[in-house]
Amino acid sequence: MYGARVPPPRQRRSLSMPKMPGKLHRDGDSHIARILVDALTAAQTDKETAETFTHPFHTYPARLHPATARVLVDLISDGAAREQCLVDPFCGSGTTLVEARANGLRVVGSDLNPLAVIVARAKTWTAPPRRRSQLRETGHSIAGNALQAGKAARRASSDPAPLRKPKGFDPNARDRRLAAWFAPHVRRELEDLATRIEDVRQDDPEIAGVLLGCLSSILYKVSSRTSDTDATWTQRNIGRGFASRLFVQRVDLLYAGLNDLSKVHAPMPEIHEMDIRRLETIVPNGTAAGVITSPPYAGTYDYAEHQRLRFDFLALRHREFEDGELGTRRSFEKDPTAARASWKAALDGFVGKIAATLAPGRRAALVIGDSVAAERAIFALDDLRDAVTSDLVLEAWASQERPFFGIHERRAFGDTPKREHIVVLRRT
Ligand SMILES: C[S@@+](CC[C@H](N)C(=O)[O-])C[C@H]1O[C@@H](n2cnc3c(N)ncnc32)[C@H](O)[C@@H]1O
């Protein structure tokens, strides 16, 4: 059914779900459970979907595999009323939102991470062709001017563009932090691009927001940070002008993806920077057509740390996110017992919020994973079962075994496999 809207592959990149097939298990309603198996295996067998639309635009730790999201959108939206919306309250970089948007559905996303919101909005930006062209032209003009300014400054041996001093940030502390990660000429070029985007913001905040997403997408590639999830320093020799050229490539990649997405008519997804604990403020209780989401895996990631360099460079406020991020690795390292208890409480809380948001009879699909936190195995399906409230029925689930990463995981799990699960809950 997707054949008509799948454009040719554009760019390859890695995703969170492993390519290796693992042993599968399923239970519950057999029709749904079989679809969940398809959703899990699509992450290994479907080579196309991840290259479609705006999926390849920006890295994000533990992104849902787009092929998995595609199967789940079909399943969960089935039979939904036109005015009802799908919801992803841990939307991250917006994989579910892109797939729901591509299916012509109304969709609402939220995430407490300010960077996630910028990326998800850019990936689902819904605007007429004239505006999309304007995005592309503005991006090209910004990069062209930044390149020219750099060349002119070198010819005249004059000072390059000044470093920005974002309001509310201590400029010296910010400079110290950034100096470690960018070669001086790269930093100047990036600051110039950012200044020009800020200039666009005066007249056109919408396009400036999308361009900021483009700038964010290149930051780690021109820095000395190894990757989003690996903060070790690595040597990268980045030539003058490279950042601007990469920026233009990203603008073009996004532009092409947005054009593909716009072939299907649908409203622009609503995306909020918000804690899941406030879900009812954006989606009234009892109204959602369905929920598709992938919550954090206990003790596995520190999204705030993964984005620290972006927060610093783009001057994004992140205090609320640092304080409110759920299930962080740092909390398990600090005090495993307290972190375990607060994770269980968080799980009860967000499962309750998801139940409350669903219209009666509608479903939620949750992608969850076993993990190791503070050297103890955490079995996500068991934890989820404990959190299921009386207004929810656990209708079906499928699980796939995943390889252990390192001796710690092997030791923590012992003879029990580590698995990733998709669970479908129905509101009574
Ligand atoms: C597994 S990721 C979601 C990835 C997403 N499905 C994608 O494809 O990009 C989990 C997300 O939960 C978010 N998160 C953590 N604590 C949160 C909270 N209290 N409220 C809302 N979002 C939160 C993180 O910022 C992260 O984006």
| 82-85 long-range Cβ contacts below 8 angstroms, 24+ apart | 82/106, 84/287, 84/288, 84/289, 84/359, 84/362, 85/270, 85/283, 85/287, 85/288, 85/289
Cβ neighbours for 394, distance < 8 A, ≥ 6 positions apart: 28, 385, 388, 423, 424, 425
Whether 92 is in the pocket of ligand 1, judged by its Cβ within 6 Å, is yes
Whether 95 is in the pocket of ligand 1, judged by its Cβ within 6 Å, is yes
Tell me if residue 283 falls in helix, strand or coil: coil
User: What is the atom index within ligand 1 of the atom nearest the CA of 62?
Assistant: 1
Distance from residue 303's CA to the centre of ligand 1 (Å): 8
- In this structure, the residue with its CA closest to atom 18 of ligand 1 is 275
Whether 302 is in the pocket of ligand 1, judged by its Cβ within 6 Å, is no
Whether 294 is in the pocket of ligand 1, judged by its Cβ within 6 Å, is yes
CB atoms within 10 A of CB 417: 15
- In this structure, the residue with its CA closest to atom 13 of ligand 1 is 90
Crossing angle of the two packed helices 184-203 and 129-155, in degrees rounded to 10: 140
Which fold, 3-114+266-427? Answer: Rossmann fold (3.40.50)
Whether 97 is in the pocket of ligand 1, judged by its Cβ within 6 Å, is no
Distance from residue 276's CA to the centre of ligand 1 (Å): 9
Model confidence, pTM: 0.94
At residue 396, φ and ψ (nearest 5 deg) are -165, 155
Whether 112 is in the pocket of ligand 1, judged by its Cβ within 6 Å, is yes
Domain boundaries, the chain: 3-114+266-427, 129-261
Whether 325 is in the pocket of ligand 1, judged by its Cβ within 6 Å, is yes
Please check whether residue 120 is in contact with residue 93, taking contact to mean a CB–CB distance below 8 angstroms.
Answer: yes
Name the DSSP letter for residue 259. Answer: H
Output the tens digit of pLDDT for each of the chain's 428 residues.
333 343 333 333 345 555 567 999 999 999 999 999 999 999 999 999 999 999 999 999 999 999 999 999 999 999 999 899 999 999 999 999 999 999 999 999 999 999 999 999 999 999 999 999 999 999 999 999 999 988 887 887 766 667 889 988 899 999 999 999 999 999 999 999 999 999 999 999 999 999 999 999 999 999 999 999 999 999 999 999 999 999 999 999 999 999 999 999 999 999 999 999 999 999 999 999 999 999 999 999 999 999 999 999 999 999 999 999 999 999 999 999 999 999 999 999 999 999 999 999 999 999 999 999 888 999 999 999 999 999 999 999 999 999 998 898 999 999 999 999 999 999 99
Q: How far is residue 165's CA from residue 162's CA, in Å, rounded to a whole number?
A: 9
Q: How far is residue 146's CA from residue 140's CA, in Å, rounded to a whole number?
A: 10
- Beta strand pairing status for 418-427 and 358-369? antiparallel
